[in-house]
Amino acid sequence: MKLNKYDYDAVIVGAGPNGLAAAILMQQQGLKVLIVEAKSTVGGGLRTAELTLPGFKHDICSAIHPLAFKSPFLKTLPLHNFGLNYVMPDIDAAHPFDDGTCAVLKRSVEETAALLEGDEQTYKALISSLVNSWPLIASDVLGPLKLPNHPFKMAEFGLIGLQSATMLINKFNTMLGQGLIAGMAAHAIQPLQNPATAAVALVLLLTGHTGGWATPQGGSQSIANAMAAYFCSLGGEIQTNFYVTSLKQLPSANAVLFDVTPQQMLQIAGHRFSSLYKWQLEKYRYGDGVFKIDWALDAPIPFTASNCLNAGTIHLGGTAAEIIAAEQASAKGQYTDKPYVLLAQQSLFDESRAPSGKHTGWAYCHVPNGSTKNMTDIIESQVERFAPGFKERIIGRHTMNAVQMQEYNANYIGGDINGGRLDLTQLFTRPALRFSPYRTSAKGLYICSSSTPPGGGVHGMCGYYAAKRALKDIFNIRIQRI
């Protein structure tokens, strides 16, 4: 039921992937929807720019998008009609070691397992059944706590996923097997001893085996541009350079959905919230930050391990024990000379990213929240460790510490790119313990950012579920499960 009392049926604050997803779902129902965005372009974490030298296109925030490529909601949208094309690396991810060996994630479970000599059967036992289940349970894993579509298959995932990553690592006997799991789990940006960190490793492995770790041609901005173009084709409106600090700035609407974190929600609409809800938002915990580097390179990164030369993503951290120690140190507010480094080399598979014969590199490491420490030398030394001669190939460099990340994107509080710590206590109750995590205590106001389930990552599912909730509450429109 469409209501015409206000200027708009819905206003979405923030044009990140979740804000765009929420706007699209509501516009698809024939509502009148407006997106307001603080920056001059849409995107949030999906932005691409020439940060180093002319002709070198760098992804400012997120870079590799396995969750976007197979997102239960985004895959239903005709984004290819609006300029979005994905590029698939030969190898999704590689994890090199000091002895020149390398664990890899390939599309095939068998090929991935075969390279884990001594852990081949362990890997197959872990992942094979879940690969078949993943298409059926993905929308439940990437969503709020609810009765799942396939309870038994979901339980199979949960029994493993709710474990700590270290428990999962200990099921493997070899350096290769343990390192592969640790590198995947470290995407959680928290100590690997924490419960449910195994789920992060599982999701990344499963997306690799059921679709691949795709990267958008031309840069991450391509995803946001396609979503925005599709939204506008449905009749939606977007206003950029519209920085919201108060509800009074917004046109009237039946529902307002915020693609922001609790800290901004309190600033914008705190006066409308109950004392209990305000208290919960004030107690919301943010996680570690990141220090990020973009490089312009005169040649590909010269990794010693040959499989790294054909991988879109590289996990640099050495053994599982090293990665566990590095992530623990960051969570304690400490630094290490050998951090876990997440590195992407998109230009190997997308010639549009750099001038002919040249390449780009993208990397970050985890640091204490709010850190201003310059990690450039430490990160570059970690790359050099596995790719001797790397430093000689750098012809341009752009860095951002954790504070600068927040200055660039207000949602990255203290450099936290996940919208808040994604541990067990904030996994399903982010940002507050409520019947629906997307509702605030004020009627008509909703939160749709990565501070809601399922959390960080470019998948649009936070926006999808928040919009679904608002459609039911305000407009009596029920959306079938995807």
**66, 78, 212, 217: which is closest to 142 by C-alpha?**
66
Q: How confident is the model over 338-353, as pLDDT tens digits?
A: 999 999 999 999 999 9
Residues 142 and 200 in one domain: yes
Q: Are 320 and 427 found together in one domain?
A: no
Mean pLDDT value across the chain: 96
- pLDDT(222) > 70: yes
CB 95 within 8 A of CB 179: yes
Does one domain contain both 379 and 265? no
Strands 253-258 and 445-447: parallel
Residues 80 and 122 in one domain: no
Determine the pLDDT at residue 425.
85
Query: Does the pLDDT of residue 1 top 50, yes or no?
Result: no
Average pLDDT over residues 224-229: 98
Q: What is the pLDDT of residues 100-150, one digit of tens each?
A: 999 999 999 999 999 999 999 999 999 999 999 999 999 999 999 888 989
Helix or strand run (H / E) with residue 104: strand 102-105
408, 432, 449 - which closes a domain: 408
pLDDT score of 161 more than 70: yes
- 78/12 same-domain check: yes
Tell me, yes or no, whether 28 and 77 share the same domain: yes
Write the pLDDT tens digit of every residue in 189-213. 999 999 999 999 999 999 999 999 9
User: What pLDDT score does 428 carry?
Assistant: 80
Q: Biggest alpha carbon distance in the chain?
A: 68
Res 462 pLDDT > 90: yes
The answer on 199 and 348 residing in a single domain is yes
Task: Tell me, yes or no, whether 390 and 258 share the same domain.
Answer: no
Residue 34 is assigned to a structural domain of this protein: yes
Give the CA count within 13 Å in the CB-facing half-sphere of 200.
Answer: 30
Examine the fold and report which residue of 408, 429, 451 is the final residue of a domain before the chain moves on. Answer: 408
**Do residues 164 and 300 share a domain?**
yes
In a domain, 99, yes or no: yes
Is 369 a domain residue?
A: yes
Which residues are registered as beta bridge partners of 310? none
Q: What is the pLDDT of residue 482?
A: 82
Q: Flag whether 481 is in a domain.
A: no
Q: What is the band of 429 on the pLDDT scale with cuts at 50, 70, 90? A: confident
Is 445 among the domain residues?
yes
Q: Is the pLDDT of residue 3 over 70?
A: no
Q: Is residue 482 part of a domain?
A: no
> What CATH number is associated with residue 22?
3.50.50.60
Nearest 5°: the CA angle 285, 20, 428 is 35
Quote the pTM value.
0.95
Residues 107 and 189 in one domain: yes
pLDDT above 70 (res 87): yes
- Let me know if residue 23 belongs to a domain: yes
Decide if pLDDT at 53 tops 90.
yes
Last residue of some domain: 355, 376, 408?
A: 408
pLDDT at 313 over 90: yes
CB–CB of 190/421 below 8 Å? yes
Q: Domain range for residue 265?
A: 8-49+58-84+216-284+420-475
Beta bridge partners of 257: 12, 446
Based on the domain organization, do 324 and 374 belong to the same domain? yes
State yes or no: pLDDT of 411 exceeds 80. yes
Residue 424: pLDDT band (50, 70, 90) is confident
Contact assessment for residue 64 and residue 215, using Cβ atoms and an 8 Å cutoff: yes
Do 272 and 235 lie in a common domain?
yes
pLDDT for res 442: 98
Average pLDDT over residues 354-380: 98
Number of CB atoms found within 10 A of residue 83's CB: 15
**Is the pLDDT reported for residue 4 higher than 70?**
no
Burial code (b: 16+ CB inside 10 Å, e: under 16) for 141-150 equals bbbbeeebee
**CATH assignment of the domain containing 355:** 3.90.660
pLDDT band at 156 (very low <50, low <70, confident <90, very high): very high
pLDDT reported for residue 145: 87
Banded model confidence at residue 326, pLDDT cuts 50, 70, 90: very high
Report how far apart the first and last C-alpha atoms of the chain are (Å, whole number): 22
Evaluate whether residue 461 is within a structural domain.
yes
| Structural domain count, the chain | 2
